[in-house]
Structure 1
Amino acid sequence: MNKLRDEQNSLKLFITKIFGNGELLDVTGIHELVAAGYPGGNEYSMTCIAEQLRDLQEEGLLSGDGFYINDEGEPVSLYRISEFGLGRLHECR
């Protein structure tokens, strides 16, 4: 159980660092960046990444910053790092 928690925390830190420049991103963009840059990242599903983003938002590290309608007519949430998240990120450096 601790290994799984450590893995999830490591992934959350990686995702938080992606947002470190203040960029506005959606789950698809984060999924692509995790697949390309995180060890074993291509094994994470879009659902898993969406859950991580929701957790980070609940923890106050990310904030929802609107949405857009995709080609299928579905709303897609956009995320940005919060001030609290930036502060925590700077503490980790």
Structure 2
Amino acid sequence: MAIKKQYLKSKPLCKVTFSVAAEEAETVSVVGNFNEWNTEATNLKKLKNGTFKGTVDLEKDNDYEFRYVVDGAYTNDEQADAYKWNAYAAAENGVLSL
């Protein structure tokens, strides 16, 4: 898993590219407080090499909690900037600091 951040000079935005190596998976999406935890909102596209990839524009100077959903199972990214306990899910969420 990988996270790439590209800050825009002309706008207060950061293009965040999420990459998940999951050759056997059928679907991968990224969910977080930036898309209301909607598993349908941000599906990643499967590339020929088996990696799922997608880019989201997020406002900078914010922290965002997020997780991946790989074939219905929630997982964190080991490259998250931090982790935060979520009592509702009884699990840690990754934190993205922009």
Q: Normalization by structure 2: what TM-score?
A: 0.31
Specify which structure has the higher proportion of strand. Answer: 2
Of the two structures, which has the highest relative contact order with CA contacts closer than 8 Å and spacing of 6 or more? 1
